[in-house]
Amino acid sequence: MKKHKIAVIVGSLRKESFNLKTAKALIAMAPESLSMELLNIAGLPMFNEDLEANPPKEWVALKEKISAVDGILFLTPEYNRSVPGVLKNAIDVGSRPYGKNSWNGKPAAIVSVSIGAISGFGANHHLRQSLTFVNVPTMAQPEAYIGGAADLFDANGKLTNDSTKDFLKNFLGAFETWVNTHVK
């Protein structure tokens, strides 16, 4: 079985982010065929078309990292019914300049994590909309909305909720199939 490189991109910059904790839990339980690694977008300069002719080194590095992976797993909180600006910025930077879209054709999945009951539903769907435009085939099922995140982790940031663990294992199994379907 081929091992696929997967970039894990977390849209929350907070040190104690529930999305980051969930990302780490997903990486720890990943199937053997998925080599998952965090791709940090925290220091990425804001997109500005004027900089495309001489892009910041962080933009170049992001585009190279995206180009080198077989797929992407996005984790996002919800800010004002949408994705955090840092995540949207990464999508914009990776898709430019026109005709040099690093995201193009990379299979992806989205997990939205929130302390609230609606579990980042708005952010999850806004992200899907942007990914459609940059030609990222995004897994439709199962959808992953993780609510009540404040009660899912212990003091060390370890996922302790068994039903959430089981759900995420099944989600990863579906994502593994999704990646295998899209990457030859």
Q: What is the pLDDT of residues 49-71, one digit of tens each?
A: 999 999 999 999 999 999 999 99
Domain of 30, CATH number, reads 3.40.50.360
**Token output for 176:** 């593994």
Could you give the C-alpha distances from 69 to 13, 43, 56, 66, 76, in angstroms and in order? 22, 20, 21, 6, 20
Domain containing 175: what range?
A: 4-182
How many domains does one find in the chain?
1
Q: What is the pLDDT of residues 63-115, one digit of tens each?
A: 999 999 999 999 999 999 999 999 999 999 999 999 999 999 999 999 999 99
Identify whether the C-beta of residue 36 lies closer than 8 Å to the C-beta of residue 8: yes
Residue indicated by tokens 């080599």? 35
Q: Which long-range contacts (CB under 8 A, 24 or more apart) does 12-16 make?
A: 12/75, 12/76, 12/77, 12/84, 13/42, 13/84, 13/86, 16/157
**Could you tell me how many residues make up the chain?**
184
Does the predicted model carry a pTM greater than 0.85?
A: yes
